A and B are shown apart, each in its own frame.
Chain A
């Protein structure tokens, strides 16, 4: 039975999160600059909801996820999490002991099902590790719980004594999922969980994630670069460009009527499994900006088809231009942009 939910309160609220990595050079390893991997990101996730986070590689999705979990210490910002035991806490301010408690309920699954599983551990060790580390179960009880988890993600409990190399990509992703869900968490960051998988396996894992969400009352932050996958699984979607959220809206609204030029271009760039000729394609100039040396003003201005004088001078604010639809663009209210889907 899922615990009672607080549907109208956010489970997670991220405020102005920043993560800068120092760039060191020379013999003395002096800091010569910073990679602005996450550069002032704010959003919330409601209980039971799936928030999709999309953007091209290097835009800061993984760093945002790791900073939220405090797998790496954020440079600044707040991460409010409604922990079932501790109550609302700012994860960035917790001590070691409190963090351990919070990590029972904030879990992560990774993109690469190969690299993220130790080859020398059996499934019992892998899936049981968080339970053992958190002192949640030992001995027979631990085995029962692992068996239950394996079954839940569609693997045979008899596989418990096997090593991960004997499993396919999709099966390994199921193992990663069993490990993440073993402590019965509330919130899971899924970092590109299907990006390394073939389409037919991807479909199985996406269905599984949805089933588990319903069964266990899970809340997801779903990170990906594939817009169709994100559209499929998310209730709302946030679009990132060079460390910042540039647009955030309910899924259908974002894909039907994007309001940020980068979102429009990204949607236009996706190769679609449909050979019929499509509307004019927007081909962006240049490449994604370097987060160690971002452009002035709006980070997107060197590539933007709608750029104005102001764009190179002033950074636009992230504004709520209609209920629940946030846009970071000086022209958000004026532009009429083309969505990925026309109804």
Chain B
């Protein structure tokens, strides 16, 4: 039924920033599908457009950024009270008014988010409890007292040690890990269909990060929401994602299941990225001689540049002469669910 069906389909999304220095094509023709109850990971180096993709979906792109084109189809479930059955309708989020009634009823409710810095998601001068209850009363028809009950229950579910007491705590009274738990509770209190997590553990200690990752996996089982998980950390991607999109300069260059990504990556950029991570096994197995890391030549070009052909061609060790620097490669599906944007894999 709804099991594996698409929840969000992003089609040819383009989000640009028009700056005096030039136009930044932060997201430049992205196609992605988020399935119900599944985790889509997005990985790539700083500036490749991960966060702007997420912000576009939430309609929170700051000006002078603008969605220039494409669709963000949200397959919304409409609860039919009378028939007690669930219907879906499709709505193009890219067409909505960013601060209109409709978008506000979706954001924080059916689609919610957790960002890197838990402090910025919480207002410092208000208690954790009042902030969570506010989100609940905004989207649900419940009394103040009922909302407080729901909030306490959510804080318990994110395994905050003393959930009732935490309701009356101010954000600064909680540690970094506890704050991120509170933010996750706030994001989940309306039982979203999609949780967007943008580097939610990057600011945390490794041992706290492990706790939060574990918690998010458990909560996903419990609540059944889809997760769009954004990170630059390939280790975190390996743990969290089922399907992974690798982004480079505003485009998805490879999309596949997580096993294939690590075991048999195809795109030259993905392969180079994976080779450049130091491996514990190499470090331990070596003698006294340190193995050199493989690097990607050159640097990510500046964001204003418009490169002809494949945007990775200046750095690609496998570029094809007379082709890669002129013609932009299309997306080839090399196996079911595995697609690559590279001339090496395009069928003649």
Contact = CB atoms under 8 A, between A and B. Distances in A.
Given A199-B232, A210-B290, A227-B280, A170 B299 contact: yes
A287 B175 contact: yes
Contact of A273 (B211, B213, B277, B286): B277
Contacts of B23: none
Contact of B45 (A199, A229, A252): A199
Q: Name the residue in A233, A266, A281, A287 with the highest tally of chain B Cβ atoms < 10 Å from its Cβ.
A: A287
Interface stretch (A103-111, A200-208, A315-323): A200-208
A274 B209 CA distance: 17
A194 B293 CA distance: 14
B206 to A, nearest CB: 5
A281 B280 contact: no
Among B177, B235, B272, B286, the one with the most A-chain Cβ atoms within 10 Å of its Cβ is B235
Interface residues of A, number: 47
Contacts of B263: 275
B207 interface: yes
A42 B2 CA distance: 60
B274 A168 contact: no
Contact of A199 (B205, B210, B276): B276
B242 to A, nearest CB: 10
B143 interface: no
Interface string A238-281: 00000000000001100110000000011011111111100001
Interface of A is mostly: helix
B210 A203 contact: no
A271 B280 contact: no
A206 B205 contact: no
A340 B290 contact: no
A225 B234 CA distance: 16
A56 interface: yes
Nearest to A278: B239
B293 A273 contact: no
Contacts of B299: 168, 170-171, 201
Contact of B290 (A227, A233, A270): A233
Given A227-B280, A228-B277, A343-B285, A206 B207 contact: no
A200 B272 contact: yes
A134 interface: no
B162 interface: no
Interface in B295-310: 295-296, 299-300
Given A207-B292, A210-B292, A269 B280 contact: no
A271 B235 contact: yes
Contacts of A203: 276-278, 293-296
Interface residue tally on B, bucketed by range: 35 or more
A287 B206 contact: no
A235 B281 CA distance: 15
A231 interface: yes
A265 B206 CA distance: 10
A256 B284 contact: yes
B277 A199 contact: yes
Contacts of A168: 299-300
A271 B284 contact: no
Contacts of A276: 259
A273 B276 contact: no
A341 B278 CA distance: 14
B284 A255 contact: yes
A200 B47 CA distance: 13
B168 interface: no
Interface in B203-242: 205-211, 213-214, 232-239
Contacts of A235: 288
B10 interface: no
A229 B290 CA distance: 12
A281 B210 contact: yes
Given A251-B284, A284-B211, A228 B278 contact: yes
B85 interface: no
B293 A232 contact: yes
Nearest to A214: B290
Contacts of B4: none
A288 B276 contact: no
B292 A57 contact: no
A57 B300 CA distance: 29
Nearest to A288: B205
A274 B206 contact: no
A269 B206 contact: yes
A231 B233 contact: no
Contacts of A284: 207, 210-211
A198 B284 contact: no
A231 B284 contact: yes
Nearest to B293: A203
Given A198-B232, A343-B284, A232 B295 contact: no
Nearest to B236: A271
Nearest to A213: B290
Contacts of B233: 271
A275 B43 CA distance: 15
A56 B211 CA distance: 14
30 contacts: A57-B205, A169-B46, A198-B300, A200-B272, A200-B276, A202-B276, A203-B276, A225-B205, A228-B278, A232-B282, A235-B288, A255-B283, A256-B284, A266-B206, A269-B210, A270-B235, A273-B274, A275-B238, A275-B239, A281-B210, A281-B214, A283-B211, A284-B210, A287-B176, A287-B178, A288-B205, A288-B207, A340-B280, A341-B280, A341-B281
Which 4 A/B pairs are nearest by Cβ-Cβ distance?
A: A271-B235, A232-B278, A231-B283, A269-B210
Interface of B: 45-46, 175-178, 205-211, 213-214, 232-239, 258-259, 261-263, 272-274, 276-286, 288, 290, 292-296, 299-300
